[in-house]
Amino acid sequence: MNLALWISFATVSAVNIVTPGPANLNTLRRAVQLGGKQVLPTIFGNALGLAVGGMICAAGIASFVMGSGVLWALFQGLGVAYLGWLGIRLLLKTEQLSLDQTTHAKISAQTLFSEAFFLAATNPKALLFYMALFPQVLDQQHSLLPQAGVLVLTYCGLSILSLSTYAVLADLLRRHFFTQARYTRFRQISGLVLMGFAIKLSVDLF
């Protein structure tokens, strides 16, 4: 894989990553609720989920899953169900907005990490993105695993940068704009958007 191909991969990946989606929305919501510094587990949980998906593709397991209609439908169904569950939870569950810089809502780092990890790991679109681009940039004349590692690290690094930017912007908004009532409405809108993603994916399945 030469430098030009890597730059092309990074460019396309950056466009895909910064486009609003479930991971960006989840990070934005948590940063508004908790503050920018508190969502580091969310950011790195998402990155690990993307890394797992990338290495699955590199190992060829994804090709096997996609070759089986039942397994692929199950994988897609899990992603849709998780998005839908997050959306419903945002609509129905009440959460306290923490505007005091010395006290924060009690949400554990483990909860934030696992929430973001499963959101990334069960999103079939991330897997499809890897599957679409890997064959275009991997050089079969050289060892594939090191090349795939570079691509996955690139994608995850760009994701961390993008989500960190979202978190900083959300932190600025929460200090000068958000109240508890506004945050509640923001949660409800976020829930509707996530449910919209789930519905769109489910329609695409059928």
- Average per-residue pLDDT in the chain? 78
Mean pLDDT of 113-123: 88
Which pLDDT does position 102 carry in this prediction?
Answer: 44
List the domain boundaries for the chain. 3-13+23-205
Look at residues 13, 14, 122 and name the one whose alpha carbon lies nearest to residue 78: 122
| Position 113 confidence tier, pLDDT thresholds 50, 70, 90 | very high
Does position 31 have pLDDT exceeding 60, yes or no? yes
Tokens of 59: 């190992």
Point out the least confidently predicted range of 33-42, 100-109, 159-168, 172-181: 100-109
pLDDT tens digits, one per residue of 126-183:
777 777 677 667 776 777 778 888 999 999 999 999 899 989 988 887 777 766 677 6
For the chain, the straight-line distance linking the first and the last C-alpha, in angstroms and rounded, comes to 37
pLDDT band at 103 (very low <50, low <70, confident <90, very high): very low
What sign does the dihedral 13-15-20-26 (CA atoms) show? Answer: positive
What are 63-80's pLDDT values in tens digits? Answer: 665 566 676 677 667 767
**Residues 195-205: tens digit of each pLDDT:** 877 787 677 66
Q: Alpha-carbon distance 91 to 195, whole Å?
A: 10
Query: At 114, is the pLDDT very low, low, confident or very high (cuts 50, 70, 90)?
Result: very high
CB 141 within 8 A of CB 147: no
Looking at residues 5-21, what average pLDDT do you find? Answer: 78
**Residues 34-44, mean pLDDT to the nearest whole number:** 90
Residue 116 sits at φ, ψ, to 5 deg, of: -70, -40
Query: How far is the C-alpha of 33 from the C-alpha of 46, rounded, in Å?
Result: 18
pLDDT score for 86:
73
HSE-up of 28 (CA within 13 Å, CB side)? 20
What pLDDT is recorded for position 192? 83
Model confidence at 21, pLDDT cuts 50, 70, 90, reads confident
